[in-house]
Amino acid sequence: MEQTPFFSDSNRLRLFSGSANDFLAREVARYLGMDLGPMIRKRFADGELYIQIQESIRGADVYLLQPCCNPVNDNLMELMIMIDACRRASARQITPVIPYYGYARADRKTAGRESITAKLVANLLTEAGASRVLAMDLHSAQIQGYFDIPTDHVYGSPAILNYLSTKNLDDIVVVSPDVGGVARARAFAKKLNDAPLAIIDKRRQAHNVAEVMNVIGDVKGKTAILVDDMIDTAGTLAAGGKLLKKEGAKEIYACATHAVFSDPAVSRLSSGVFKEVIVTNTIPIADDKKFKQLTVLSVANLLGEAIWRIHEASSVSSMFR
């Protein structure tokens, strides 16, 4: 993606970074041709967080980049404090840029007396003072409707698709790891020259535990690309990969936007089932979570372009046509 030419109104645009993914924030700032805004961040002895913006943002359009990754509660609270600080400093518009939206998996009630945490987080961000939200690859599309403020939803798939196009893979079949991800896999397959689609039928026994039953579709002798929004413990993907290999897939690639990588994800992903595991840098990946088959792609240009288009009141959806 070519860098957008920037104009004089950029002096009203401010970008600040939380502590969750400072490296990605610096890449976004570089794409926008600006520096990250100065900010003091420290903790009191009891763990309470203190934040102070170190420049005037009165009348400015402020963008706060902070994924709600591990430690989720700390990073979410830090984001809300940043929003509150900007609101009290008379920012004109405050937009949290959330590469990874935490608490998104509880997006509906599946049993009695459950919390819908995806909606709760939306309420918290709105009440803290957010004017609009920019999020990447939400766990489910309906989360956009949980906000009563404008919400821009962007995708990490262009970065993954561009990378796959350089590998000259042949005889591709795109595989959804479960029925719930069919729409995502279908859209991914369409971008890969309308590649055929397969679905893994699974039955989940408990949270983070999945039992794979069978494959719907033809994968024998093909290059299978498993597509998901996130990889947490990798139970679903690892079981799906083993089943695809059993069904005769030639090579298996795993692709996801968010590399949560909770234990024992690394051991499952590096077990030899996958030719390559392709993720993006929405969540920082510690050195001890990296392995030979892992490829990490940057989504900084996608986020930077979306920020600029929001600031210029131009179309964000046209980025993905």
What is the pLDDT, as a whole number, of residue 123?
98
More confident residue, 160 or 179: 160
Handedness of CA 235, 239, 240, 242 (dihedral sign): positive
Q: Rounded CA gap, 304 and 133, in Å?
A: 14
H/E stretch holding 137: none
Strands, E, within the chain: which ranges? 13-17, 39-43, 49-53, 61-65, 93-98, 133-136, 151-154, 172-176, 197-206, 209-216, 223-231, 251-259, 276-280, 294-297
Residue 28 CA neighbour count, 13 Å, CB half: 30
Tell me what percent of the residues of the chain surpass a pLDDT of 70.
93
Q: Rounded CA gap, 155 and 317, in Å?
A: 10
What is the pLDDT, as a whole number, of residue 6?
46
- Annotate 235-283 with DSSP letters as a single string: HHHHHHHHHHHHTT-SEEEEEEEEE---TTHHHHHTSSS-SEEEEETTS
Residue 307 near residue 32, CB atoms below 8 Å: yes
What is the pLDDT, as a whole number, of residue 5?
46
pLDDT above 70 for 205: no
- As a whole number, mean pLDDT of residues 286-315 equals 97
List the structure tokens of 149.
């403020």
Per-residue pLDDT of 88-111, as tens digits, reads 999 999 999 999 999 999 999 989
Cβ neighbors of 204 (< 8 A, separation 6 or more) are 210, 211
- Which residues have a catalytic role annotated? 202
pLDDT above 60 for 288: yes
What is the pLDDT, as a whole number, of residue 206?
67
Per-residue pLDDT of 290-302, as tens digits, reads 999 999 999 999 9
What is the pLDDT, as a whole number, of residue 8?
42
Per-residue pLDDT of 56-76, as tens digits, reads 999 999 999 999 999 999 999
> What mean pLDDT value characterizes the chain?
93
Q: Rounded CA gap, 271 and 234, in Å?
A: 11
Per-residue pLDDT of 214-236, as tens digits, reads 899 999 999 999 999 999 999 98
- As a whole number, mean pLDDT of residues 25-52 equals 97
What is the pLDDT, as a whole number, of residue 172?
97
- As a whole number, mean pLDDT of residues 29-33 equals 97
The residue among 60, 67, 58, 57 whose CA lies nearest residue 28 is 67
